[in-house]
Amino acid sequence: MRLSLASVEPPAPCARCRQRVAGVKWGDLCPDCQAELRRRARPLARIISLLAALLVIGYAWLRIPLGPVSRIWVAAIAIATMFLVRKIVTQIAMEIMRKPSGGTP
């Protein structure tokens, strides 16, 4: 018979709010704190991803001869850029906001 240590261990505290939640590992955030950070990071990610997509469209407008097929490709690449940049910026913003801004490192 094999015993699981996860069921024996007490719940770990959230790294941000210090609330003990089952299923949270040491140093991780509870679902409430993750949702709060994601909510705060989304507007920044939305703005930066829109700017990145506009830069792609601007570059294509100035540098590429736009025919009917190339316009479709530019639109697809701009949409892909927007979603990819949004995902990356959301993760980076969540990591930056996660760290405490207090005095000692």
CB 97 within 8 A of CB 37: yes
Tens of pLDDT, residues 23-82: 778 878 888 888 888 999 999 999 999 999 999 999 988 988 878 898 899 999 999 999
In a domain, 20, yes or no: no
In a domain, 46, yes or no: yes
In a domain, 88, yes or no: yes
Residue 49 domain boundaries: 36-98
In a domain, 53, yes or no: yes
Query: Does pTM surpass 0.85?
Result: no
In a domain, 14, yes or no: no
In a domain, 41, yes or no: yes
Tens of pLDDT, residues 58-71: 998 898 887 889 88
Domain count, the chain: 1
Burial class of residue 30 (count of CB atoms within 10 Å of its CB; 0-12, 13-18, 19+) = buried
User: What backbone phi and psi angles, to 5 degrees, belong to 20?
Assistant: -85, 120
